Amino acid sequence: MLSINLNIDEKFESLKDGMDYSYLINGNWEKSSSGKTIPIRNPYNKEIIAQIQACTREEVDNCIKIARDSMECWVETPLSKRIEILRKSARLMREMAEPLGNILMQEIGKPIKSAISEIMRTADIFEGTADFATSIGGETIMGDAFEGTARDKLSITYRVPLGVILCIGPFNYPFNLTGSKIAPALVAGNTVIMKPPSFGAITPLHFGIFLEEAGVPPGVFNIITGRGSEIGDYLTGHSGINMVAFTGSSETGIHLSKVAGMKPLLLELGGKDAAIVLDDADLEITVNSIISGAFSFSGQRCTAVKRVLPMPGIADKLIERVVEETKNLSIGDPAENNTIGPLITSKQCDYVQGLIDDALQKGATLKCGNRREGNIMWPTVLDHVTTEMRVAWEEPFGPVLPFIRIQNAEQAIKISNESMYGLQGMIFTENIDLAFNIAQELEVGTVQINGKSSRGPDHFPFLGTKSSGLGTQGIKCSIESMSRPKVVVMNLTEKGKLIRECGVYEK
């Protein structure tokens, strides 16, 4: 077993110079020759807390070249060693979860407890990936299963890496959702270029420290920083990249799929998850799921509950209880672990406000909220929302919960499926047979019965249909997506063959 023998606090300091963070190429933390940096502001108090490098195209080229040159060494590294490296990285993350969670809290305004648990959950993904990787295998198929082929042909299939994988994460889980790509990519034998989101870049930069310390050779894991709008297309379209694993908005994901050409893609995109609440639902389970699903991290989650479709027999009491609980949510400084904190930018607040204004102008009933201070938007519940209102279809990525009252299950299915998104759906009812039937009709990746939509546990498959994604994540599925089968066919001759007479076999 590898031992942890560093003062990692000092290592944390090594990737920055004052407020300026570096990018990582071939094991070295460097400043960009552009001389330009991008400021990172704390969304709560708007103070600049750090600056990241705005890398140039030439630096992208160099990084990708290094990653390509490192492929041979990494693929030759025994799987058992790659697994050991993931385990050691996970231990380091756990050890540093508090200070790193504190950085995460400052750069994206996530409540401190959730920020620390994001680091811990990422360590769990590294461990879980290491566990699963021990059973990565292949298969042997004898030829005689297929008409016209005999046992003198046999295929041996095993998995090989794809090459260089570009991992791009979103601002809302910048550590976890880049980590969930990096771990399977590396264990499968790929080298990696990570491009962190510009909001939320600092925390994932620390993967460079953890992985180096755990034993990843220089050049196998590299980090390019810069605005997606400036270097994103160049990175994605680069001929040196073999696969793009991306989490972010549907708009960016769809654009990226056009730029990427023939490269395999793994896309986790936006959602508009609907909670269908039938008359017989358990009220308290439903209320608790809706509150935590809609308002955790101020609604800035892909799998947030983004609309509720209640049946007539439960709608009034459900809305009343949801409003009661919404008014009890704590609001304010993420350092004090308030549920509702700042949205990532004031532009995002304007967008959310636009959705609320549109709904109110078109006749929705305001039950609570609709107040803003700085980047903090008060949690807002809207009743009597109709399908003519934007908030019925658009992803707010903020604390706004529309109730669209329905008359029957068929109407709920129709409204759910008319969305351009297809991430998850929820059904709350005691009638499991009916729930299962509705689940079969919903055009989404996952249906939750009597629970809020969520990503995870991380060994479950996770995917979106329509504009919500492409490909499937989850520990096993991610490793499979980031590797491919290699088939070797043995064509045997009669030489040395033992011939037995049995009357059935005729060549």
**Residue 268 catalytic?**
yes
Whole-angstrom distance, CA of residue 164 vs CA of residue 64? 8
Catalytic option among 55, 302, 349, 477: 302
Query: From the CB of 199, what's the least distance to ligand NAP, in Å?
Result: 6
Q: Which of 107, 212, 268, 395 is catalytic?
A: 268
Q: Are 377 and 398 in contact (CB under 8 A)?
A: yes
Place of tokens 């790193």: 100
Near ligand NAP in 373-412, by CB under 6 A? 395, 397
Minimum CB distance to ligand NAP smaller for 208 or for 464: 464
What gap in Å lies between CA 168 and CA 174, rounded to an integer?
Answer: 9
Q: Compute CA distances 336 → 109, 112, 120, 268, 291, whole Å.
A: 11, 7, 19, 31, 19
Nearer to ligand NAP, 112 or 235 (CB): 235
10 Å CB burial of residue 48 (0-12, 13-18, 19+) is: exposed
- d(CA 24, CA 37) in angstroms, rounded, equals 15
> Residue 48: enclosing H or E segment and its boundaries?
strand 48-53
Shortest Cβ distance from residue 170 to ligand NAP (Å)? 3
- Which residue of 268, 273, 394, 458 would you call a contact of ligand NAP, by CB under 6 A? 268
Q: Which amino acid is at 505?
A: Y
Report the nearest approach of ligand NAP to the CB of residue 44 (Å).
Answer: 18
Strand ranges in 189-230 using DSSP code E only, listed in sequence order:
191-195, 221-223
Q: What is the rounded distance in angstroms from the CA atom of residue 469 to the CA atom of residue 476?
A: 18
Size of the site for ligand NAP (CB under 6 A): 33
Q: Is beta strand 243-247 parallel, antiparallel or unpaired with respect to 221-223?
A: unpaired
**302 included as an active-site residue:** yes
Among 187, 194, 269, 275, binds ligand NAP (CB under 6 A): 269
| Binding flags for ligand NAP, 40-79, as an x/- string (CB under 6 A) | ----------------------------------------
Tokens standing for 449? 């019965």
Q: Does 471 bind ligand NAP (CB under 6 A)?
A: no
CA atoms within 13 A on the CB side of 232: 20
Minimum CB separation of residue 133 from ligand NAP in Å reads 22
Select from 52-60, 228-236, 386-394, 479-487 the region that touches ligand NAP (CB under 6 A): 228-236
Nearer to ligand NAP, 196 or 219 (CB): 196
Looking at the chain, how many residues does it have? 507
179 near ligand NAP (CB under 6 A): no
Please, which residue, 55 or 216, has the CB nearer to ligand NAP?
55
Residue 34 binds ligand NAP (CB under 6 A): no
Q: What six digits make up the tokens of 368?
A: 């609570």
d(CA 367, CA 383) in angstroms, rounded, equals 7
User: Min. distance of Cβ 363 from ligand NAP in angstroms?
Assistant: 27
CA distances from 297 to 43, 46, 100, 105, 397 (A): 13, 18, 18, 11, 10
Site for ligand NAP, residues 473 to 492, rule: CB under 6 A: none
252 binds ligand NAP (CB under 6 A): yes
Binder among 117, 249, 338, 345 for ligand NAP (CB under 6 A): 249
Q: Tell me which residues are annotated as active site.
A: 268, 302
| Residue ranges that bind ligand NAP, judged by CB under 6 A | 168-173, 177, 197-199, 227-229, 232-233, 236, 247-249, 252, 255-256, 268-271, 302, 395, 397, 423, 455, 464, 469
